């Protein structure tokens, strides 16, 4: 999909449904293109609304025929496996346009809030000028901004950063179904960013007043504490709430109702999401947090 303003300006890309069961980004792109097709005054807006059509058709995170995770295969290989060839088409098409910014739209746990995720190595692989742009774009979205802590190989945003192309991942709440509330927030946030980039003629109503965090606050991603036992999880907080270090966030009970484990917050943090399952297993994540402080230092 493409909107060409006919005037020079920023080039922004959006990708969605790289994981075939994460469809909210597709709907956000549809809504944005309907809303903005006559209002982009500078630059160009591009999108791949369904980057993984095979996974989309079968409601699968993966490419079902090859069992590949497309978001671990970038920059791809034009002569490689099915997934590598798809990744190469997407990646090469994007970089040929010399983009100002790429937004990769994803979904998280069912009980989760929208947030912006920055690759953990964005400062190490980019110049200070590029890193500063990434932070500015992330803040302009006005979602909670979370710095990833996991080293992932072959994901789209990290591979674009390696090419000095600013890229952000947006986690847009629940997967597998369309949350109209999160669609509105996604459309509003991206519209706000395009306004910041000087690409729009008019303002739009914002739906971000209930977001739980200042846009200037950068958090650090964490799934600790992990469960150390098996049983039934009962949560004592929810996505979008702040918790304090030492606060009880969940308990794990056995089949007879006896508490086997008490999980407490390790830091002051924003709850990003809670596990999709009611069952805990040893070493499994139960919740995701955006940590406000680590070792007494503000993130």
Check: pTM over 0.85? Answer yes or no. Answer: yes
- Cα end-to-end span (Å), the chain: 37
3-state secondary structure of 104: strand
Contact 259, 253 (CB under 8 A): yes
> Mind listing the pLDDT tens digit of every residue in the chain (299 residues)?
999 999 999 999 999 999 999 999 999 999 999 999 889 999 999 999 999 999 999 999 999 999 999 999 999 999 999 999 999 999 999 999 999 999 999 999 988 999 999 999 999 989 999 999 999 999 999 899 999 998 888 999 999 999 999 999 999 998 877 889 999 999 999 999 999 999 997 655 544 445 455 456 799 999 999 999 999 999 999 999 999 999 999 999 998 999 999 999 999 999 999 998 889 999 999 999 999 854 434 44
- DSSP letter for each residue of 169-227: EEEEEESSS--HHHHHHHHHHHHHHHHHTT-BSS------TT-SS-TT-EEEEE-PSBP
In order of their start, the domains of the chain are 2-196 (3.40.630.10), 221-298 (2.40.50.100)
């Amino acid at each position: 999909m493409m909107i060409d303003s006919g005037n020079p300006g920023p080039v922004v890309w959006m990708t969605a449904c790289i994981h075939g069961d994460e469809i909210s980004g597709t709907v956000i792109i549809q809504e944005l293109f309907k809303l903005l097709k006559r209002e982009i005054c500078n630059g160009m807006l591009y999108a791949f609304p369904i980057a993984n059509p095979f996974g989309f058709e079968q409601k699968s995170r993966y490419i079902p025929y090859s069992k590949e995770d497309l978001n671990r295969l970038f920059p791809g290989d034009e002569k490689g496996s099915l997934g590598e060839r798809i990744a190469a088409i997407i990646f090469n098409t994007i970089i040929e346009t010399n983009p100002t910014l790429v937004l990769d739209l994803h979904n998280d746990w069912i009980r989760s809030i929208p947030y912006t995720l920055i690759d953990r190595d964005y400062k190490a692989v980019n110049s200070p000028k590029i890193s500063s742009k990434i932070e500015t774009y992330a803040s302009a979205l006005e979602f909670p901004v979370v710095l990833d802590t996991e080293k992932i190989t072959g994901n789209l945003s990290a591979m674009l950063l390696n090419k000095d192309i600013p890229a952000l991942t947006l986690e847009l709440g629940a997967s597998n179904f369309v949350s109209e509330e999160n669609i509105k927030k996604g459309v509003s946030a991206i519209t706000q960013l395009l306004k910041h980039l000087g690409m729009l003629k008019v303002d739009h109503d914002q739906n971000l007043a209930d977001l739980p965090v200042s846009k200037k606050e950068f958090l650090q991603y964490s799934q600790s504490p992990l469960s150390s036992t098996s049983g039934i999880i009962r949560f004592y907080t929810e996505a979008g709430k702040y918790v304090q270090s030492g606060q009880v966030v969940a308990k794990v009970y056995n089949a007879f109702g006896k508490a086997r484990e008490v999980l407490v917050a390790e830091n002051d943090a924003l709850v990003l999401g809670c596990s999709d399952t009611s069952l805990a297993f040893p070493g499994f994540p139960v919740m995701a947090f955006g940590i406000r402080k680590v070792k007494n230092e503000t993130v």
